[in-house]
Amino acid sequence: MSKSMLLTATITATAWLSVHLVLQSGRKTKGLFIPSPGTTVVPELQEQEIANLPYPPDALPGGRDAITPYGSIRIYEWGPEEGEKVLFIHGISTPAVALGDLGHEFANRGYRVMLFDLFGRGYSDAPTDLDYDARLYVTQILLVLASSKLSWTAFHLVGYSLGGCLGVSFMRYCPHMVRSLSLVASGGLIRPYHVGWQSRLLYNSGLIPEFLVRILVKRRIRPKDEQLPSTAGGVDIISVEIKKHFPSGDGDSNGGDGFDSATISKFRPDVTVASIVRWQVDHHEGFVTAFLSSIRNAPIYAPQDDWKHLAMILETRRQLEHPMELGSISGIPAGKVLMVIGEDDSVVVKDEIIEDAEQVLGVDGVEFAILPGGHELPFTMSSSVASAIDGFWHR
């Protein structure tokens, strides 16, 4: 959006502001959360229409809805009950189904896996009275763990993009529960200069009326209806090469055309990331609220204090005289985390994240796995990502 277009939009919006306030005053005050499409959309659909959704409620095995004071949370849990447990946390714009293939990879290897929709995404409700910050998300993770009939007091944690930095936050407060921490294309250390002037003006300036911010953000993050056909592996190589030098600064909502056109699952090759995000924008009334508040409040950009605490936890583990007392000597007990990075990721830039992670965690505190691809890495290369993580655990 050019400066002139933004100025025009602002002037127009200001002219209608009084009308908007009058209309708003006549509406009933919303509750403490905005219901998900599972409540507002799905009950009105026929069986075949539900099956044709980009993200149907039964897209993954073992689905359940946990009722909490913050609204309902959609959770999926499957795999051998006696297997080691793995919790997955998805990104800022793509719900749990985006990590479904990765979940299947681990379940097929004998692990018990659990995925869930973050608040305001997929089929989870969106709290309206709280910031979408580390406090809210750490609380949500604990609620998810407590909802299982099994004991999730010791598990591997795999976080993707926003989910990566949320995993670091969780590790800070509940380190005794985490057997290993694997961060895939993780946020948390993204350098602030990647946030352009448009993003700063839109999200944090306070110069634009909030209702207009929501309108502009909704238009900005909604993928176009027409998408370029995906190439092998779902990656538009030309777009990735162009965009990797010009990161958008908007998290995994704008990972380039390769990200938008990436197939969300090998089990549903006709469903793209763009179709999932577009469906949420159009049908989850709380999605824009969750996205906007996450950009403003979640621990996405450096510096983040959580990483300093993680470094201290890892250093303490490395100094233990008998690490076998904690079980396996891989992962957290060995004082090390794994970071899986896409060679051409336009959001989490490889050279920057390696330098910054080693600086804050120390060269002994982090191991890297570099794989071909962009920010869509866990969708398009789920088997390779799973092998890198599983190898880290058992090396």
3-state secondary structure 183-226: EECCCCCECHHHCCHHHHHHHHCCCCCHHHHHHHHHHHHCCCCC
pTM exceeds cut of 0.95: no
pLDDT at residue 201 above 80? yes
Q: Is residue 101 assigned to a domain?
A: yes
Residue 25: the pLDDT is 35
Average pLDDT over residues 324-351: 80
Domain housing 196: 31-394
Average pLDDT over residues 25-51: 83
Average pLDDT over residues 341-365: 95
Q: Is residue 233 assigned to a domain?
A: yes
Residue 176: the pLDDT is 92
How many distinct structural domains can be found in the chain?
Answer: 1
Q: Give CA separation, 267 vs 48, 52, 88, 263, 379, in Å.
A: 18, 13, 19, 9, 11
Task: Tell me which residue of 25, 178, 176, 194 sits closest to 89, measured CA to CA.
Answer: 178
Q: Is residue 285 assigned to a domain?
A: yes
Residue 252: the pLDDT is 56
Residue 207: the pLDDT is 86
Q: Is residue 185 assigned to a domain?
A: yes
Residue 84: the pLDDT is 96
Q: Among the listed ranges 2-6, 46-50, 157-161, 363-367, which one has the minimum average pLDDT value? A: 2-6
pLDDT at residue 105 above 60? yes
pLDDT at residue 120 above 90? yes
Residue 30: the pLDDT is 58
User: Which stretch, 27-31, 43-47, 259-263, 319-323, has highest mean pLDDT?
Assistant: 43-47
Residue with token string 């099994």: 150
Looking at every residue in the chain, the average pLDDT score rounds to 85
Q: Among the listed ranges 189-203, 273-287, 312-326, which one has the minimum average pLDDT value? A: 312-326
Higher pLDDT, 286 or 14: 286
Q: What would the pLDDT profile of 131-172 be if each residue is shown by its tens digit?
A: 999 999 999 999 999 999 999 999 999 999 999 999 999 999
Assign 31 a pLDDT band (cuts: 50, 70, 90): confident
% helix, strand, coil for the chain, step of 5:
50, 15, 35
Q: Is residue 8 assigned to a domain?
A: no
Q: Is residue 5 assigned to a domain?
A: no
Average pLDDT over residues 17-21: 38
Assign 243 a pLDDT band (cuts: 50, 70, 90): very low
Burial of 346 (0-12, 13-18, 19+ CB in 10 A): buried
Assign 241 a pLDDT band (cuts: 50, 70, 90): very low
Residue 303: the pLDDT is 87
Assign 315 a pLDDT band (cuts: 50, 70, 90): very high
Q: Show Cβ contacts of residue 175 under 8 Å, excluding neighbours closer than 6 positions.
A: 313, 332
pLDDT at residue 28 above 60? no
CATH number where 315 lies = 3.40.50.1820
Q: Is residue 13 assigned to a domain?
A: no
| Contact of 233 with 266, CB cutoff 8 Å | no
Q: What would the pLDDT profile of 55-65 be if each residue is shown by its tens digit?
A: 999 999 999 99
Q: Is residue 315 assigned to a domain?
A: yes
Q: What would the pLDDT profile of 64-93 be if each residue is shown by its tens digit?
A: 999 999 999 999 999 999 999 999 999 999
Q: Give CA separation, 70 vs 88, 106, 115, 292, 390, in Å.
A: 20, 30, 18, 18, 34
Task: Give the β-pairing of 85-89 and 366-371.
Answer: unpaired
Two tokens, residue 249: 């600064």
pLDDT at residue 363 above 90? yes
Higher pLDDT, 227 or 330: 330
Residue 253: the pLDDT is 54
